[in-house]
Amino acid sequence: MNIANRITLLRIALIPVYLILMLIEFPYHMEAALGVFIIASITDNIDGYLARKYNLITDFGKFMDPLADKLLITGAFLVLIQIGRIEAWIVFVILAREFAVTGLRSLAAAQKVIIAASKFGKIKTVSQIVAIGVLIENNYPFSLINIPMDTITVYFALIMTVLSGFDYFYKNRKVLSLRNT
């Protein structure tokens, strides 16, 4: 197993660590959870960089890397629902987009079409990570100066998630053509 795939597996292994740190209360547990979440988020860039730079792209990596991303984001948002920092309907919309785009990619793959990540999709991912970080810290330090950065980042992430979903479907509408059935 190459280094890029090991880093992807590390990201998956960090998910339960993050969840435990979020749910078991002790001094600075949220800061520890944020640190683990940031490390896990950064590994996505590292494994992709290494895979491309050293030609370590494998079928395992093509499958596991996006799965690891979705598991991390899903776990992060679900625990934030549980502790009351985000509304479930927002997470539902975000996850529905993820399932829909994953389904579109699967359908495209069956037709030998590759759907690459778009700039919108990358903005969506970064905005979700930032929103999760602000939510983990319960809007600190912005709460000290009465800026609802948690609300701002969550709604920005929600808007980018929906727009990127529409963008993927619009640009790949031929994959959904009824003439292929």
- Please list the alpha-helical segments (H only) found in the chain: 3-23, 29-53, 59-82, 88-110, 119-136, 149-171
CA distance 18 to 37: 6
123 DSSP assignment:
H
CA distance 162 to 73: 15
Cβ-based burial of 56 (10 A; exposed 0-12, middle 13-18, buried ≥19): middle
Contact 161, 99 (CB under 8 A): no
144 DSSP assignment:
G
3-state secondary structure of 63: helix
pTM for this structure?
0.92
What pLDDT, on the 0 to 100 scale, is given for residue 84? 97
Which parts of the chain have pLDDT scores under 70?
178-181
1 DSSP assignment:
-
What is the Cα 104 distance to its own chain's centre?
A: 17
pLDDT tens sequence across 58-83: 989 888 998 999 999 999 999 999 99
What pLDDT, on the 0 to 100 scale, is given for residue 179? 60
3-state secondary structure of 58: coil
